Structures are given as structure tokens and as C-alpha cells.
Amino acid sequence: MPNTFSYVALFLWPVVVFFLYRSLPRDRALIASILGGYLLLPFGVGINLPVLPTYDKTLVPVLSALIMAMLVPAPPERATARGSATVADRAGRTPFTRQRETLARRQTHLQTQKAGPGETTGSGGNRISNMFLVLLFVTPFVSVLTNSQPVDIGPRVLPGLRLYDAFSFALTSLISVLPFLMARRYLATQRAHKYLLIGLVLWGLFYTLPALYEIRMSPQLARRIYGFLAQQFVQAMRDGGFRPVVFLQHGLWLAIYFAMAILAAAALWRTCRAEGDRKAPRWLFALVWLLGTLILAKSLGALAVALVLLPVALLFSPRAQVVATAIIAAVILTYPALRHADLIPVNRFVAAAESYSPERARSLEFRLVNEDRLLAHARQKPLAGWGGWGRGRVYSEHGRDISVTDGMWIIVMSDSGWLGYIANFGLLTIPIFLIALRRRGSGLPPATVGLSVVLTANLIDMIPNATLTPVTWMIAGALTGWLARREAAKAPPEGPPARRAPPRPPTRATA
């Protein structure tokens, strides 16, 4: 059972967010609020509110950041011209580089004054993302219209959906995409992307300390601090040791965060090298430390994702990176259709897992069997799914739930059908596609390309696991906002064309 301190932590986090917004710029305060709340607050503790979503670690950081962004004035910039030059000299940048960066900051400031931070709603990137957002909010109403009748399964009766459910589902969707919307507005610059990468790495380094403790002593921190462990303890036992959980939902969630932090460290190394920073090797040391912790965490899936994408982040050119991430994103976006057409070699994956560990192979095969069963059930409601209240799950003739949902893709397909799948995964993959389509333009910032690789790692993990978190939405929103700002900077000024001055009459000299 959750103890008193777990509820105190939930109610004190808005105070922490208030001080973050008082002392940090908007972008850094938002990053610290989302990452800190996701990693520090207890999972599985919440207060159920009527109509509104549950007051828990998903709602509290995002809603607090939104309220503080509207109420707390931004702190003044503390850096002076002399201080900036000193920092630049320490980083090894030349006066010409500093002058070029100053001009770029002035240009960004002028664009912000013209369109507002992230308010370039007329750009292609924002128009497409707004279409997916509308689809995301419309889908629950379509689900209700197609699931108004109850379902009888032996002694079990699943109730039909009502209009109340549609508003509740739509409000839950709004809360889930709030990090996307806020990041699209406040994290739309190259500087914010670098801060986001730094936040992922620094929080990851901090999290390695409790993770290493739990690897040695077993997952006990959540039980000792918050009074309970979110997952079953037997699931933390792996290969004669323990898989850390800390304060997250499951050890798999912790493992994929470490994988994302590893790729973020690789992106920071390339970013600092491009800026001429002589301290770039420190990010390689962080990468090695995080990779060692992930290996000790005994999570094969997240480790495989990190090892596959790490050469892409370290060795590929920015152009090759965005092409590779776009190909992977296309597979993710069409995964249900590819799986239905048997174009995904699942048997080869099982055989590869068998060569590594028979236990892992049996676990993977069990997941695939359940996914096939759920996918066959979802095909009965392909447009908008079965809705909520367990209608998308599979039951025996005696009314017993015999389905196990692991992957995010099958959860969305079962509950929301193709409309919900395209809305959710479209928002997550569209910035990767647009960055790849615009690769022939000016040079892509290394931090932005690195964020695309980090987001791709999380997308891959959402096939076997339901690891869609506020951090995922924040990264996708930051990439979408950057695309919108870039398109706005290249767009011609709005308004009527300037009138030409009438020709001057000829003078005596010209006559």
C-alpha cells in the first residue's frame, strides 16, 4: 500500500515546479519538470477524480508545468556579454564563431517576436500535427458510436460505451499530449534541443546510482520510500540477479530510458565536436558509464536497441541518420498492416532469442501469440477499435480474461483502431519524416538529428512494450516545433507586396 509520503510527494511537486520556473528559463524549467516528475514521483499512486484523469505522476508534472508557464514570469537573462565571451573562450570557440552565434541568436529573437515561441501554426509541420491532434480527439467519439451495445461473454457482460466515456477518453488524450504541445512551443530551438539531450544524460547518470544499488540489493527503493513496489517482485529476478526498477513502472521502462540516455550522450558528443568544445569527450565517458549500467540491468531488448542505433548516432552523417530513422519510423507507422500481412519475420526473432536464452525465447513467443490473438479480435472493429473498459481484450467462453497486452501498438489498435493508431503514432513519427524530407536544405543541427535517433529508439521499444511516456511526447513535440520554426523563418513575409516608388522625373543633366 502507498504510504503518506507518496501522496505528499505528488502534492509537493507543483511547488518544485514553481521554483524551477522562477529560477530557470522556460525551456530548461520544462525539461526539468517533466524529467524530474517522471523519474522521481511514485508510479501507481493517484487520486481518482470525477470526469478528470487520475491525479498521478503522469498528470502532476505536465499540468504543473503548464500552469507555471502561464502564471510565473520568465526570469531575466543573467549572462552578460563579457560572461558569454568568457564561456565561449573556455569552449574553444573563435571570435568569428561567437559573432556568428550572436547573429543567429538575434535572428531567432526577431523570429520569436514575429511569430511567438512555437506559434507558427501556418507552417506545414504544425498543420500536419494539428490534423493528427484533431483525429486523436475525434477518435473516442467514433469509438463510442460504434460500441454502444453491450457485449455478452458467458457470465461476463461488458457494458456499452456512452457519450460520457467519449469525453473522458478525449480528456485523457489531451492530458497525454500536453508535453507534446508544450515542447512544440517552448523547445523549438537548437539550444533547447541541446538542453533536452543534456537533461536526458544528466538525469540518466543520476539514476544509475539507485539502479546499481538495486542491481546489487534487489528493487527495494520504491518500497522503502513510497511504501510499495509497482511491479511484481518476481519480474525483477533475472539470470540469477535483479533488474532495477527504482521509481518507474517496470524494469523495462528504466532500461529503455538508459538506452535513450546513451544515444543522447552520443548526440551530445557530436554536437560539442561541431561547436569546437574541447570537453566533448566527457559525453563519451557518460556514454560508457550508462552502457555499462544498462548491461548490468539485464534487459536484452533495450540493450539491443541501443547497440543497433549507437553506430548510427556516432558514425553516420546527419543526412544518413535522418534517412535511417525515417525508414524505421515508416515501419513503425505501418507495423499492424505489416504484421497482418506476415511481412515481419517474427519466427526469426524467436530463433535468435532461442540461441541466446531459451527462457527469453519462450517469453517472446508468448507475447507474439497474445498479439496475434488480440490483433484478430481488433480486426472486428478496425476503424475506431473496441473502446475502453476491457472491450478490446480477449476472453474465454467462461468470461475469463486470457489476453496479455504488452506492446503499445496492440493496445492502441485494440482500443482505438486505425484512427487512434494513426493519430498517436502519426504525431510521434511525422517530425522524423519531415526532417528526412528536408535533408537537402541547410545543414541539420547535430542536436536535432540526435533527438530523432533518441525518439526512434523509444518507437522501436513500443512494439514489444508500452513505453509511451511524457518524455516520448516531449521529444516529439520539440522536433515538431523546430520544423515549424524553420519553415516560418524561410517563408516570405505576409501582407501586401511593397509598392515601388514612382520614377523620378528626368533632370536637365540626364535630358
Where is pLDDT greater, at 118 or 503? Answer: 503
Q: What is the mean pLDDT of residues 410-419?
A: 93
**Confidence at residue 305, expressed as pLDDT on a 0 to 100 scale:** 95
**Confidence at residue 449, expressed as pLDDT on a 0 to 100 scale:** 94
- Does residue 76 carry a pLDDT above 80? no
The answer to whether 227 and 6 are in contact (CB under 8 A) is yes
**Confidence at residue 231, expressed as pLDDT on a 0 to 100 scale:** 72
DSSP secondary structure string for all residues of 242-297: E---TTSS-HHHHHHHHHHHHHHHHHHHHHHHHHT-TTTHHHHHHHHHHHHHHHHT
- What lies within 8 Å, CB to CB, of 294 at 6+ separation is 255, 258, 259, 262, 302, 303, 306
The answer to whether 446 and 197 are in contact (CB under 8 A) is no
- Judged by average pLDDT, the poorest of 18-27, 310-319, 410-419, 497-506 is 497-506
Percent of the chain past pLDDT 70, that is, above it, reads 84
Where is pLDDT greater, at 210 or 500? Answer: 210
Mean pLDDT taken over the chain: 84
Where is pLDDT greater, at 423 or 437? Answer: 423
**What are the beta bridge partners of residue 151?**
158
Q: What is the mean pLDDT of residues 16-25?
A: 94
Torsion of CA 416, 417, 420, 424, to 10 degrees: 110
The answer to whether 5 and 226 are in contact (CB under 8 A) is yes
The answer to whether 469 and 38 are in contact (CB under 8 A) is yes
pLDDT, one tens digit per residue, over 158-195 is 888 988 889 988 998 999 999 999 999 999 999 999 99
| pLDDT band at residue 406 under the 50/70/90 scheme | confident
| SS3 state of residue 304 | helix
| pLDDT band at residue 347 under the 50/70/90 scheme | confident
- Judged by average pLDDT, the poorest of 133-142, 322-331, 355-364, 493-502 is 493-502
| Burial category of 124 from C-beta neighbours within 10 Å (exposed 0-12, middle 13-18, buried 19 and up) | middle
Torsion of CA 203, 209, 211, 217, to 10 degrees: -160
CB-CB neighbours of 498 under 10 Å: 7
Percent of the chain past pLDDT 90, that is, above it, reads 51
For residue 42, give the nearest of 210, 227, 240 by alpha carbon. 227
In the chain, where are the structural domains located?
1-72, 121-187+195-488
| pLDDT band at residue 85 under the 50/70/90 scheme | very low
- Does residue 51 carry a pLDDT above 80? no
Say what angle helices 281-296 and 190-217 make with each other, to 10 degrees. Answer: 40
| pLDDT band at residue 124 under the 50/70/90 scheme | low
- Does residue 416 carry a pLDDT above 90? yes
C-alpha cell at 84: 558569454
| Burial category of 289 from C-beta neighbours within 10 Å (exposed 0-12, middle 13-18, buried 19 and up) | middle
The answer to whether 421 and 409 are in contact (CB under 8 A) is yes
Would you give the distance in Å from CA 153 to the centre of its chain? 37
pTM of the predicted structure, to 2 decimals: 0.87
The answer to whether 65 and 17 are in contact (CB under 8 A) is yes
Q: What is the mean pLDDT of residues 85-90?
A: 42
- Judged by average pLDDT, the poorest of 38-47, 76-85, 221-230, 243-252 is 76-85
Q: Cα–Cα distance between 228 and 82 in angstroms, integer? A: 51
**Confidence at residue 115, expressed as pLDDT on a 0 to 100 scale:** 42
Q: What is the mean pLDDT of residues 310-320?
A: 93
C-alpha cell at 23: 529560477
**Confidence at residue 504, expressed as pLDDT on a 0 to 100 scale:** 60
| Phi, psi (rounded to 5 degrees) for 482 | -65, -40
- What lies within 8 Å, CB to CB, of 367 at 6+ separation is 404, 406, 407, 464
Task: Dump strand ranges (E) for 123-229.
Answer: 151-153, 156-158
- Does residue 95 carry a pLDDT above 60? no
| SS3 state of residue 152 | strand
The answer to whether 265 and 284 are in contact (CB under 8 A) is yes
